[in-house]
Structure 1
Amino acid sequence: MATGDSGPKTFRRGLQILEALWAAGDEGLRITDIAALTGIQRTTVYRFLSVLVEQGYALPAADDRVFVFNYAHFVGNPNTAYSVDRLKPVVARISAQTGDSCFLVRREGADSLCVHREVGSYPLQVLAVTIGHTQPLGVGAAGLALLANLPGDDIRQILVANKNILPKFGGMTCQQMEKLIESTLERGWSAVGNAAVPGVLGVGVPILHRSGHAIFAISVSSVMDRMPLKRQRSIVELIKKELASVV
């Protein structure tokens, strides 16, 4: 009987730990806190957290003794500012003020996933990227902002995973992507043209959790003629200003 119960029992423990992190919100929990709340031994909590971090469901905070739930995988938790529902109005305001399409994106393995989109008022809009659209991480402005702010090992693994598909996006290569990543880190924001959508340029800003992890990114895209460098910078400042109001 014990053997038959081991799988469900293990699953229940994992869910208990996830629920505790979810309820804690942005403050996160220490291993000792999780153990006290769930009644699970600290050594077991540590083993579960290792798997949850590896799979992207939890994040180690700046203080590596504290762990937080990765809300980029889910929506609508009132305990955190880092949720799709809290960020949707930000995306709407940015699109309304720029007149251009604005996108909210998160990481999905080696890809970027569009979780929300607003269409602007300018006659020519970027409509190729819709909610639920995935593409290799880095070929779009939001995806590049996310990719550049990942740990070095993660970046290398993603580039290896996407090596064969990148050329389908404007002839992109891993070497070119590495240069884009370097430029993004130097500027603090990303810019990509003629990659995900020909004739279009986008700028992206990462949304960093207080732990330092990039969990979402916001981008604005429009036709190339509408995106000179001066306007790119003004859009980036607008995105940062709007984000500052909620995160």
Structure 2
Amino acid sequence: MRAMNRPDTSGAQTVDRAVAVLRLLASAGESGLRLIDLQHASGLSKPTVHRLLTSLLQHGLVEQDEDTRRYRLGMEMAVLGWSVSSGRADLRQLCGPDMQALADETGDTAFLAVRSGYDTVCIERKMGPYPIKAFTVDVGTRRPLGVGAGGIIMIAALPEDEAELVFESIREPLRAYPNVSEPSLRAAVARAREDGYALSDGLVMTGVRGLAVRVSDAHGAPMAALSLSAVQDRIRPERVPALVKALEERRKRIERSLAGPGRRLR
């Protein structure tokens, strides 16, 4: 990252730096980050980070809390997100009813996540009636691929060479998650390939388990991960088959909707 502190002679370099800052803020969520946090996490100099933040603030892509002075993503980011092409923008709306039905049926919390580079991003969450909730992530939360059942199933869906590239790329970010080691993640991915679903046991939060299946688009390509999360006692081994069945039934319904009328999924 040291090379990024050289004089900015490239517009592309400025864009790369701005994107890195935005991704760090996305990972922090509503709590935001201080200038010094962004400086350390990005590896950029303090003047460079300040200059980027000033520009992003002017465009509404970033906002600063008047009390804490922390930075977080601005409303303009949401506006840009709403302008995404219809197939992806409608994904939350399309999956919402089936996710709520899944949450109601199982009593637990249902999540929908998509891949963004070497991260997963939670784009929807639906709560079931069970009184003890497992709020492992909020909508908009960004985590390295492999942290959680959704990320595991996404890696499992990749060809071997692409999966290896992911393992190499997330090695450093995984240091922030003491419950996740590369050997254990590789083993979880191997099991997910064999089983057709992913199981996460305390990877995100101690005492919480998750199950996930892959959602494919109309062409059979991986598009998202549909998952359930609950306290450990709720996802006991004897209950896993029923939960996986419920996930698979909702996955099939979602994929039929993605394929559209008159089309068949591969």
TM-score after normalising by structure 1: 0.65
Residue 208 of structure 2 corresponds to which residue in structure 1?
Answer: 200
Residue 113 of structure 2 corresponds to which residue in structure 1?
Answer: 105
Residue 135 of structure 2 corresponds to which residue in structure 1?
Answer: 127
Contact 2:213 2:248 in 1 (8 A): yes
**Pairwise mapping of residues 23-34 of structure 1 onto structure 2 (< 5 A)?**
none
Using the TM superposition, give the Cα deviation of residue 209 of structure 1 relative to its aligned residue in structure 2, in angstroms: 2.5
Contact 2:120 2:151 in 1 (8 A): yes
Q: Does 1:236 align with 2:251?
A: no
1:177-227 CA-to-partner distances (Å, cap 9, x unmatched) read 111110001000000111111110000000123433211011101111111
In structure 2, distance between residues paired with 1:168 and 1:204: 22
* AA aligned opposite 1:96: D
Residue 149 of structure 1 corresponds to which residue in structure 2?
Answer: 157
**Pairwise mapping of residues 113-192 of structure 1 onto structure 2 (< 5 A)?**
113-192=121-200
Residue 58 of structure 1 corresponds to which residue in structure 2?
Answer: none
Aligned residue for 2:209, secondary structure, equals: strand
Which of 76, 83, 91 does residue 99 from structure 2 map onto? 91
Using the TM superposition, give the Cα deviation of residue 147 of structure 1 relative to its aligned residue in structure 2, in angstroms: 1.4
Using the TM superposition, give the Cα deviation of residue 127 of structure 1 relative to its aligned residue in structure 2, in angstroms: 1.4
In structure 2, distance between residues paired with 1:76 and 1:235: 32
In structure 2, distance between residues paired with 1:245 and 1:76: 23
The more displaced of 157-166 and 170-179 is 170-179
CA RMSD of aligned residues (A): 2.3
Q: Number of paired residues?
A: 175
1:157-182 CA-to-partner distances (Å, cap 9, x unmatched) read 21111112224324322222111110
1:127-147 CA-to-partner distances (Å, cap 9, x unmatched) read 130100011111111111111
TM-score after normalising by structure 2: 0.60
In structure 2, distance between residues paired with 1:197 and 1:233: 23
Which of 228, 232, 246 does residue 220 from structure 1 map onto? 228
Residue 29 of structure 2 corresponds to which residue in structure 1?
Answer: none
Contact 1:150 1:213 in 2 (8 A): no
In structure 2, distance between residues paired with 1:240 and 1:74: 28
Distance 1:108 1:225, change over 3 A: same
The more displaced of 87-96 and 166-175 is 166-175
Contact 1:95 1:118 in 2 (8 A): yes
**Pairwise mapping of residues 62-77 of structure 1 onto structure 2 (< 5 A)?**
none
User: What 5-or-longer segments of structure 2 have no aligned partner?
Assistant: 1-80, 256-266
Using the TM superposition, give the Cα deviation of residue 75 of structure 1 relative to its aligned residue in structure 2, in angstroms: 8.4
Using the TM superposition, give the Cα deviation of residue 76 of structure 1 relative to its aligned residue in structure 2, in angstroms: 8.7
In structure 1, distance between residues paired with 2:128 and 2:87: 30
The more displaced of 185-194 and 202-211 is 202-211
In structure 2, distance between residues paired with 1:75 and 1:215: 19
In structure 2, distance between residues paired with 1:104 and 1:153: 26
Aligned residue for 1:212, secondary structure, equals: coil
Aligned residue for 1:121, secondary structure, equals: coil
In structure 2, distance between residues paired with 1:76 and 1:239: 27
* AA aligned opposite 2:128: G
Contact 1:170 1:198 in 2 (8 A): no
Contact 1:75 1:84 in 2 (8 A): no
